Structure 1
Amino acid sequence: MRILMVSMNSIHFVRWTQQLEKSGHDVFWFDILDGGKSKHLPWVKQITGWKQKYPNFKGRYFFKKRLPFLYKKLSFLFEYNTEKVFENVLLEVKPDVVHSFVLQISCLPILEIMKKHRGIKWIYSSWGSDLFNKKNKPNYKNDLKSVLSRIDYLFTDCRRDYNISVEYGFKGTFLGVFPGGGGFKYRELEVDYIKPLNGRKIILVKGYQGKLGRAIAILKALSLLTDQLSNINVVVFGADEEVRKYIKRNEIFSKLEIEVKPKKEFLPHEEILKLMGKSLIYVGNSVSDGMPNTLLEALVMGAFPIQSNPGGATEDFIESRKNGLLINDCDNHVHIAELIEGVLKNPELLESAFKINQYKIKPKLEYSYIQKQVLNAYDGIEI
C-alpha cells in the first residue's frame, strides 16, 4: 500500500512512522510545516523544502517574528500555497491512503483537496488535546464536523477522543487506541535504568505551565509538604519560564532539595527515561491533554503516577488507588498535596502499584506488541 503521511516533524510522528519500516508499505511524508528532513526516517520518501518561494531571502525570520500579522497577510508573496502544493504531491505520489496527524495542523489545511479526491482513503490520528481542547479555536465545532465527515479511518491515543469524534459526526472505521508514538522498547531499558523501589528518593514533576499545563499547582502542593520531604529530592523537568520564576521568587522552595531542568535546555528522551526509572513518584498535571506520553513512560519505568484526568482520558490506564492516582481538580493544590502525602505514607500502595504496572500494564505498552496491532490495522484498510 502507498501511504502518504501528512504531519509536522515531531518525535511522536517519527516514532509512529518507524513502526512501518520493513512492513512492505511504500511510505511518503509531506512535511506540512516544511520543517526539514528527519534523519531518523531515511527509508521514507520525504517531501520537504516546498514552502518558500525565495529560500535565501534574508530577514524573513525577523519579519515573521516582529510583524507576524503583516507577514501572514503578505505570505502569498513569500510562500507557495499549501493546498496547491499538496494536490500536486497527491497527483504525483498517487497514494492509496493519506494519513494526517493532528486535525488543526495536518487535516484542515488539506481538507478541500481531500474532499475533491474522495476516492483516496483518509486516516486521521488524534493526539493530546487535539479534539478535547476548545479554547482558541473559534470554529471548533464546524472544523471538527467538516473534517470528521470526510475521514474514513481513525486512530486515537485515548478512548475519550473516539467518543468525541462520534459526537461530531465520524462514521468511518475506528482503527483503535494506541500511544501516539507507538510502544516502548523497554527491554533495552530494564537492566540499567529501572531501579528498585527502596532506592528511589525522587518526586519527578513535569514543569509545564503555559496555556494548558498546571505545574504551579503541583509546586504549591509540594510547598505544603516540606516537613514530609526531608529525605526526598524534587526534580522539575521541562520547566518553562513561568515555572522557573515561580520557584525562584518563593523562598519556601529553599527548604526542599529541588533541581530544575529548564525546557530550553533540551533533555534527551533517554535522560527522561533514566529519571523516571529512579523516581519514586511522577506528577503530571494539565487542564487538557490526551494520553500523556510522560505518564506512559512513568508506568513503564516504575514511577508511581499521579496524573490529571481531563475528560477521563487518563483512566484508560490508571485505576485510582490501584496503580496510580488521578487528580480530579487540576487547580486545587490542596487536593494534590493530599494525594502526594497519602502515597508517601502508604508504602504498600507504592509496592502493589509497582507490581501492577510492571507485570500487567507494561506488557501492553511493549513496542512489538503495539507495532503488530498497528500494522494489522493498516492491513485492514480497504483500498
Structure 2
Amino acid sequence: MKLCFIADARSPIAQNWISYFVGADYDVHVISSYPCASSAIHGASIYEFPLAFARFSSSRINSTSMNSKKNQSRARISSPFTKTLIRDWVAMLDVIPHVSKLRRLINTINPDLVHAMRIPFEGIAASMAVDARFPLLVSVWGNDYTLHAKHSLPTAIMTRRTVRRTDAIHCDCERDLRLSFKWGFRVDAPSLVVPTAGGIQSDTFFSRTVTDSKVNYQEFQNKRVVINPRGIRGYMRNDVFFRSIPRVLHYHPDVLFVCPGMAGDKNAINWVKQYNLEKHVVLLPSVKRDEMAELFRLSEIMVSPSIHDGTPNSLLEAMSCGCFPVVSALESVKEWITDQDNGLFFDITSENDLADKVVRALDDDQLRNNARLRNIRIIQERADYATVMPSVVAFYRLLINSVSIRPLSQR
C-alpha cells in the first residue's frame, strides 16, 4: 500500500500517526505543509510543500521545541476570532496558486490513498488538487469547525467544499462527525472516529504509584503539582488559569503549578509577576513526549482552560498517566469525562470556579484514586495505540476498495 500524507511533518500528532505505517513497511510519502527536517519522520519520503505562507516559517524543528519568540508572537494576537480571521483570509490567498503544482506532485507519487491531516489548509488544498481516481481521506482536527470555519468566511466556504469533495472523514470525536454532516459530508460515506494521534502509546504514557523521576524534574518530587500542558494558544484562557492560582494557594500554599510550553512567553511572565507567583509557578519550554509523560506522572491534577477543542491529546495522555483532569466543559471533552466521576468541569469564564475545582480535587483523595483507575481503563478500551492503528489500516483498505469499484464516471 502506497500512502501519501499531506500534513505538517513537524507535528507530533502527524508523526505519531504516520510513523505507524513506516514501521509496518508501507510505502509512505509525506507532503509537508511546513518546512521541516528531511528526517522529521524516519523512513518516509518527505517533500516540502509549504502552504498558507508556511514557507516563511523560521522553524525547521519539531513543534515540541519551538522557541519562545514564536510563542510570544502568537500571544500578541490572543483573540481566537482576530487571530483566525487574519490568518485564514491571508493564508487562503497562498493556497490556491499552488494547487496545480501540488496536483502534479501527487500524480507523480501515484498513491493508493491520499490522507490530508487537518482541513485548514491541508484538506482544503487536497480537495482542489487530488485527482478523483485517488481515494481522499480528510482528518478533522479539534478546531477546524468550531473555530476556523466558524469565524472565517473564506475558510467556511472552502471547508464546505472540502467536506463535500472528500471520500471519507476521520474525526477525533463524535461531535465533529455530526458537524461534518452539517457541513455537507455524505451520510453514506465512510467515516472513522479515533484520536488524531492514533491513540496513546502505553510504553510512554503509563501510570505508576511511585515515580522514579528523571534528574530534570527531581525538584518537583515530594511536591503537590498541578500541570497546565496546553501551552500558549489563542483558544486557551490562560488568563483565567493564572488568576485562579492565588485562590488555590490560599487553601494549599504548597502547590506548584507547572506550565510546559510557556517559558519566555511575555503574557505568562507578566501574569506570574502580576499575581506574585514567582515561587509557585514554573514556566517550562515545550518538552518531548517522554518528558511530558513524566510530568503527568509527577502531577496530581491537569488543567485544560480551552474554549475550543476536539479530543485533546494532552487530556488522553494525562488520563493514561493517572493525572486527574480539571477541564472546561466542552461537548467533545464530555465524550471522555463525566463530571464528578473521572474528572471535574469548570466554568471557563470564572477563575473562582476553576480554583474551587482544583481545591476540591486536591482535597479528595478518593475522587482522584477512583478517577485514575477509570481513566486508565478508558484509555485501554478506547484509545490504545496498539488497537487503534490496526483499525486505521483496515479503514484505509476499505476506502481504497470502495473507490476502486466505483464507476469511472463517479471518480
TM bracket (short chain): 0.7 to 0.9
Q: Does 1:304 pair with 2:324?
A: yes
Secondary structure at the counterpart of residue 47 of structure 1: strand
Secondary structure at the counterpart of residue 206 of structure 1: coil
Residues paired across the two proteins, number: 353
TM-aligned CA deviation for residue 101 of structure 1: 0.9
Partners of 2:96 and 2:154 in 1: CA distance = 25
Tell me which residue corresponds to 1:319: 338
Secondary structure at the counterpart of residue 211 of structure 1: coil
Change in 2 beyond 3 A, CA 1:191/1:349: closer
Partners of 2:258 and 2:379 in 1: CA distance = 25
Amino acid at match of 2:377: Y
Tell me which residue corresponds to 1:90: 106
Tell me which residue corresponds to 2:174: 159
Change in 2 beyond 3 A, CA 1:95/1:190: closer
The 5-angstrom pairing of residues 1-383 of structure 1 reads 1-9=1-9, 10-23=11-24, 25-33=26-34, 35-48=35-48, 81-114=97-130, 117-133=131-147, 134=149, 136-171=151-186, 173-188=189-204, 190=206, 195=211, 201-206=224-229, 208-239=231-262, 240-251=265-276, 253=277, 257-261=280-284, 265-310=285-330, 312-327=331-346, 329-381=347-399, 382=401, 383=404
Report the structure number with the largest CA radius of gyration. Answer: 1
TM-aligned CA deviation for residue 32 of structure 1: 2.6
Amino acid at match of 1:282: M
CA contact (8 A) 1:157 1:291 kept: yes
In the TM superposition, structure 1's runs of 4+ consecutive aligned residues that sit over 4 Å from their partners are 188-194
Amino acid at match of 1:250: Y
Identity of aligned residues (%): 18
Partners of 1:194 and 1:165 in 2: CA distance = 44
TM-aligned CA deviation for residue 2 of structure 1: 2.4
Change in 2 beyond 3 A, CA 1:191/1:287: closer
Partners of 1:213 and 1:135 in 2: CA distance = 17
CA contact (8 A) 1:290 1:314 kept: yes
Secondary structure at the counterpart of residue 371 of structure 1: helix
Change in 2 beyond 3 A, CA 1:258/1:112: closer
Change in 2 beyond 3 A, CA 1:216/1:92: same
Listed one character per residue, the Cα deviations across residues 230-251 of structure 1 (whole Å, up to 9, x for unaligned) are: 2322212222321221112222
Partners of 2:28 and 2:123 in 1: CA distance = 18
Partners of 2:288 and 2:396 in 1: CA distance = 30
Tell me which residue corresponds to 1:59: none
TM-aligned CA deviation for residue 293 of structure 1: 1.2
Instruction: Structure 1: give runs of 5+ residues left out of the alignment.
Output: 56-64
Listed one character per residue, the Cα deviations across residues 285-323 of structure 1 (whole Å, up to 9, x for unaligned) are: 11112111111111011110111233x011121111111
TM-aligned CA deviation for residue 362 of structure 1: 3.6
Listed one character per residue, the Cα deviations across residues 118-177 of structure 1 (whole Å, up to 9, x for unaligned) are: 222110011121122145522343222211110111111111111110011101534322
Partners of 1:200 and 1:322 in 2: CA distance = 25
Q: Under a length normalisation based on structure 1, what TM-score does the superposition of the two structures give?
A: 0.83
Secondary structure at the counterpart of residue 87 of structure 1: helix
Secondary structure at the counterpart of residue 19 of structure 1: helix
Secondary structure at the counterpart of residue 41 of structure 2: coil
Tell me which residue corresponds to 1:61: none
Partners of 1:358 and 1:194 in 2: CA distance = 16
CA contact (8 A) 1:6 1:30 kept: yes
Change in 2 beyond 3 A, CA 1:148/1:188: closer
TM-aligned CA deviation for residue 179 of structure 1: 1.5
CA contact (8 A) 1:193 1:274 kept: no
Tell me which moved more, 151-160 or 133-142: 133-142
TM-aligned CA deviation for residue 346 of structure 1: 1.7
Change in 2 beyond 3 A, CA 1:191/1:166: closer
CA contact (8 A) 2:207 2:320 kept: no
Instruction: Structure 2: give runs of 5+ residues left out of the alignment.
Output: 56-72, 74-85, 213-220, 405-411
Partners of 2:290 and 2:378 in 1: CA distance = 23
Change in 2 beyond 3 A, CA 1:270/1:108: same
